[in-house]
Structure 1
Amino acid sequence: MTDSNKKQSFREGFEAHLESPIPILTRLGTFIFGKKLPDTYTKISFYFGIAIWTIFLVWIILGYMVLTNTSWIEAEKGLDVHQLISDRGTALGFTGDAFQNKLITFYNLAIVAWAGMFIGLALQWRKHLYFIYFIWISGAVYLFGMWILLGFSYWYNDTTLFDKIAFFFLIGHSSLHYYFLRKELLGEKVNFFGIDDSDEDEE
């Protein structure tokens, strides 16, 4: 093949690569999650975690968009969002625009916290034992950030029961998975219910 043909072939391949996002997404997925598939229990744990992560992240982004576009919403929909937020803030003990400003600060903090959660979930998929520290620290930043900025009353009254259950389920189940993964990496045979002593029973 001549140099001209090589250049032409490379150009065609490069253009085809740019036309489709699939190769880029595939490489990105491999970079984040690795090439090796984990065991079934790890997959199930990850799928539960990523579902909860997606729900929380969507609500956080939507909330942030509403808070930072109150004027546009009022102009387009005729809904006085700013007043509604202010009234709720007053009921929670805030004055003026303090509640809205702290909500915006919290949503910025929450985005960072749930980015950390995603790192933890990716490490969980790859079965790295320190995944749990990203889950615990990110969860603590999210929860304590809410309590400190908005108050415990906001968490208790303004977050749904589903949010509370989903959040603590993610933390609790991740901790359970950490327990099993730690035993596995220590060389102990484990299953969902704990130590698998089937080999001893067969002897």
Structure 2
Amino acid sequence: MKIQIAFLGLLLAFGSVAQAKISCHVEEPVELYKFQDEILALPKKVSSADELIEKMRAPLHCLTEAYANSEDLLTKYVAGACLQRLMGAPEIKGFKVNRGYKIVKEAIINQQLLSSNLLQKSEIADLASGKWSDYVVFCKGIKDSLCSDFLPTNDRIKSQNELLGATSMLLLKSAFVTFHGDAKKKVAEQIRQLHRETPATSPLKRRVIDQILKDIDQPSLELRGS
């Protein structure tokens, strides 16, 4: 089985943005782990935070694009597992959390904060897109009111770290756009509450929920409650 993933990546270097075509080629899904390992090895090889962000951009895009766009279930699983590890999922067992890993996680957070379009063009947006596609398949044939019960709760989002919590917020945005009736109102209330309660000390979550509210806060969407 040969898997090819080709995409346009945004390369950000020292404040300037340039576009370049990046191709990721793997023969088998398990080879996606090489991108994870490449990223985790970078803290010992780079000399600055800017260089770390720059050099991890390509392998990180390979993983997010594979997870968001691949139709092969094993490919999605492996890419998703790598991303969960890199972004600090506490439920992943047997994964050694060392200083280099913590440096990478903080660098990914900073990389997201540099994005001018977090909701559409960022690694967490790709991760959320992949999660939402899985969610849609899972909820196929189920009423919105029942399916909404499987969304991340606000308590869950608050307990998640910056990257995974922000990704969960993006799932709520997709649900709000997709759902109707009472399910839509339920998600709208979740978004309003998160906007009220997400502190500035969580900068990525704060920026994401601000952008979500700005993006969907239109009279026709009836987001604001009385």
Answer whether TM exceeds 0.5 for this pair. no
Rg (Cα) greater in structure: 1
Structure 2 length as normaliser, TM-score?
Answer: 0.31
Indicate the structure with greater strand content: 2
Structure 1-normalised TM-score? Answer: 0.33
Say which structure, 1 or 2, has more relative contact order (CA 8 Å, 6+ apart): 1
Which is richer in helix? 1
